[in-house]
Amino acid sequence: MGDIEVVDRGSQEFVVFLRGDVDESLAEDLDVARGEVAALEDVDVQRVLVDLRDVTAMTEPGVKFLVELERLGRRTGFEVALSMVSKPALRALESAHWPHLPLQSGA
């Protein structure tokens, strides 16, 4: 079972923590989190950092969330960066041909 948390870190940065199995069971929570980030349009957010260190599995809904977050960032003017990418998350991103390298890979 997976978990998602959106945290305001101040200094114009939000962090999205994804944990556990990021799969179909988490689809509704991913939609809610995407809505939380989309609501930030009125706030001067410069970057949304996605922490994937605790992801144990990632399927299409998790990759779709990241793709849509990236599109939202391009449209509204914030950067999306990946941090501490677990091996299962990295494999899913590589399979999806994710174009960005993570800031730092985790174990």
CA triplet 47, 52, 58: central angle to 5 degrees?
120
At 99, the amino acid letter reads: P
| pLDDT (0 to 100) of residue 86 | 94
Phi, psi of 48 (to 5 degrees): -115, 115
Q: Is the pLDDT of residue 107 over 50?
A: no
Structure tokens that stand for 39 in this block? 């609501």
Q: Burial level of 15, CB count in 10 A (0-12/13-18/19+)?
A: middle
| pLDDT (0 to 100) of residue 56 | 96
Q: Which pairs from 98-102 meet CB under 8 Å and 24+ separation? A: 98/63, 98/66, 100/70, 102/52
The chain-wide mean pLDDT, for the chain, equals 85
At 92, the amino acid letter reads: A
* Alpha-carbon span 35 to 69, nearest angstrom: 10
pLDDT tens-digit profile of 15-67? 999 999 999 999 999 999 998 888 876 677 788 999 999 999 999 999 999 99
* Alpha-carbon span 99 to 26, nearest angstrom: 24
Q: Is the pLDDT of residue 106 over 50?
A: no
Q: pTM of the entire structure?
A: 0.84
| pLDDT (0 to 100) of residue 105 | 45
DSSP letter at 78 equals -
| pLDDT (0 to 100) of residue 103 | 44
